[in-house]
A = this chain, B = another copy of it.
Amino acid sequence: MNFDILMNIGLDIMGGDFAPLEAIIGVSQYLSENNNAAHLTLVGEEAQIKDLFRELNISQNNITIVHAEQVIDMHESPTKALKEKQRSSISIGFHLLASGKTDAFISAGNTGAMLVGALFSIKAIEGVLRPTISSVIPKENGKTGLILDVGLNADCKPEQLNQFAVMGSVYAQQILGIDNPRVALLNVGEEEGKGNILAQSTYPLLKENKHINFIGNIEGRDILLDVADVVVCEGFTGNVILKLAESLYEISERQNLAHEYFDRFNFEIYGGTPVLGVAKPVIIGHGISHARAFKNMITLAQKMIEKDVMSKMKKELES
């Protein structure tokens, strides 16, 4: 195995409902569409991977295969599975990441195991109270925003939301390309002082925070409008919103809406969900990920490394 490459992205080839086939097609698409492709380390059943490469007639240039004889299933208990299946693709993927062999790790496998792995295998960025996961939001006017946390932290403290605001702001700027992103606190009313205890206590912190462009509270009706670029909330509400939004795409499909805007609620087109606040990019894909999602996740990991998003978050958080 040769790890002496500048950028090396690890990918769990066994994770997801349509793995390994769709993962490998995604890899192939990524490699053929990028002149400046990163080296990829594919973790999974070696023989199966090699067979698919032959069948699909894909070159193994720029590819390292690391054999993993186990797979963590979608419904296994994350902590137990990570402990007991140390030869699983997710365990090995995190081991490669933690030891510096890879610079990022991607999987569409067991979400819980990916979260637990991200939290415990690699370090949090110095000063980060809690890492977070975010989701893009398709805006009605065609733009794309960010909402966080969407489920990693069901209970939050104001100081955590304040850090999510900074991390989301850096991500929106570096990855979504939004200049001076407008950060808003999700709330039940517009005025300062509204909301539950958490929102009431978070507002003053955001207002005082010099590292973000805080525009105040927004309400549920503003989420899909172009009112704010980064929407901050605890992971309970954020998770409910994200899953509700995902269901809109399914409904639009079943109802044959065939509408451009509702098509953008197909979250697969955005790839996966990065874990923010950990020292290296970890990207979690949907179980239903197809080739496009895998390709987009690899591209996202590359962009996060190239833009050095983690260092920028660290800098904004510490000063």
Contact = CB atoms under 8 A, between A and B. Distances in A.
A27 interface: no
Contacts of A254: 140
B155 A236 contact: no
B224 A244 contact: yes
A215 interface: no
Interface string A189-225: 0000001110100000000000000000001111111
Given A237-B236, A237-B240, A240-B188, A255 B247 contact: no
B155 A197 contact: yes
Contacts of A113: none
B241 A244 contact: yes
A195 B154 contact: yes
A234 interface: yes
Interface in A141-190: 151, 154-155, 186, 188
A199 to B, nearest CB: 7
B199 A224 contact: no
Q: How many copies does the complex hold?
A: 2
Provide the main secondary structure of the chain A interface: helix
Interface in A216-271: 219-225, 233-237, 239-248, 250-251, 254-255, 257, 259, 261
Given A186-B240, A188-B239, A220-B240, 16 more contacts: A140-B254, A140-B255, A154-B196, A188-B240, A195-B236, A220-B246, A221-B243, A222-B247, A223-B240, A223-B244, A224-B248, A225-B247, A237-B237, A237-B240, A255-B259, A257-B259
Interface of A: 140, 151, 154-155, 186, 188, 195-197, 199, 219-225, 233-237, 239-248, 250-251, 254-255, 257, 259, 261
27 contacts: A140-B251, A154-B195, A154-B196, A154-B199, A155-B196, A155-B197, A188-B240, A220-B239, A220-B240, A220-B241, A220-B246, A220-B247, A221-B243, A221-B244, A221-B247, A223-B240, A223-B247, A224-B251, A225-B247, A236-B237, A237-B237, A240-B241, A241-B244, A244-B244, A255-B261, A257-B257, A257-B259
